[in-house]
Amino acid sequence: MKICTSAMGVIFRREFSAYFATPLAYVFVLIFLVLSSVFTFYLGGFYERSQADLTTFFNFHPWLYLFLVPAISMRLWAEERSSGVIELLTTLPITQLDAVLGKFLAAWAFCGLAIVLTFPLWITVNYLGAPDNGIIIAAYWGSWLMAGSFLAIGCCMSALSKSQVIAFILTVVVCFLFILMGFPLVLDLFTGWAPSILLDAIAGLSFLTHFQSVSRGVLSLHDTLYYFTMIVVWLAATVYVLQVSQD
């Protein structure tokens, strides 16, 4: 299947502006900003650490995304199915890949916007001290990549169902599994009997494993590659699901 950039672009523009046609976008951005500040300043003990950096802020991102990203992705395909718009979209001269990419990129750009809007925090730490801004930029980038992986999973789950509620729950569960896989608690279940290759593979698939280094500002090519692979694989799965469910 070829990608037609212009068709993808048209879908992207429609989807992106659709976020602002309803209060959804504003509510989402507001919740994201409030929660990330609450997490950072209260739960994260930002002041106690008396260190001017954003490590605590980024450490909470996987947990924030766990509930906020599915709220964005749940409607991507489930809504088209229940409203019947999918029939229109399928009979327009665009490929499913164009539609999947256009919708995904719009959602990802929207997440990026929400992330960028946390810049007052960044200004605050720069006001309070002298953080390493290179680290912060790398962590922002890593966080956005992780949001993309969550979204790609959500995209696929949304394609599976007509119901946005089901899409939301499925996405939370799958994303939670991908976070959990990096926890010692889960890995302990396998240590002892499973070959260490499997152990490494499980830990290596986890969002958390890859995000730990990222939140400290160490963004290796390896981690970037991991997130892009996740995105590609889940979007390919979305196209597959859409094709299979057509008949």
Partner 1 sequence: MIVIDKISKHFGSITAVDMISFSVSTGEVLGFLGPNGAGKSTTMKMITGYLPPDHGTIQVCGFDTVDSPLEAKRNIGYLPEGAASYGDMVVQDYLSFIADIRHLKKEKKKRALDSAITNMALEKVLWQKIETLSKGFKRRVALAQAILHDPKVLILDEPTDGLDPNQKYQVRELIRNLSTDKIVIISTHILEEVGAVCSRAMIIAAGKVVADSTPDELARQATQAALPQQHGHDILPALNEVFRTLTAGSMQ
Question: Shortest Cβ distance from residue 62 to partner 1 (Å)?
Answer: 31
Taking the least distance from each CB to partner 1, the nearer of 83 and 229 is 83
Q: Among 7, 145, 160, 167, which residue sits at the site for partner 1 (rule: CB under 8 A)? A: 7
Piece of the chain touching partner 1 by CB under 8 A; list 10-18, 134-142, 178-186, 211-219: 10-18
Q: Among 90, 191, 220, 229, which residue sits at the site for partner 1 (rule: CB under 8 A)? A: 90
Taking the least distance from each CB to partner 1, the nearer of 43 and 92 is 92
Taking the least distance from each CB to partner 1, the nearer of 50 and 91 is 91
Q: Does 33 bind partner 1 (CB under 8 A)?
A: no
Q: Among 6, 23, 127, 184, which residue sits at the site for partner 1 (rule: CB under 8 A)? A: 6
Taking the least distance from each CB to partner 1, the nearer of 92 and 218 is 92
Q: Does 196 bind partner 1 (CB under 8 A)?
A: no
CB 67 within 8 A of CB 172: yes
Q: Among 3, 34, 38, 92, which residue sits at the site for partner 1 (rule: CB under 8 A)? A: 92
What residues between 94 and 113 interact with partner 1 by CB under 8 A?
94-95
Question: Shortest Cβ distance from residue 95 to partner 1 (Å)?
Answer: 7
Distances (CA, A) of 21 to 24, 27, 112, 144, 160: 8, 12, 18, 24, 25
Residue among 134, 145, 159 nearest 217 (CA) = 134
Q: Does 23 bind partner 1 (CB under 8 A)?
A: no
CA distance 83 to 190: 45
Taking the least distance from each CB to partner 1, the nearer of 7 and 203 is 7
Number of residues that bind partner 1 (CB under 8 A): 21
Q: Does 83 bind partner 1 (CB under 8 A)?
A: yes
Q: Does 93 bind partner 1 (CB under 8 A)?
A: yes
- The contact set with partner 1 (CB under 8 A) reads 6-7, 10-11, 14, 18, 21-22, 83-85, 87-88, 90-95, 246-247
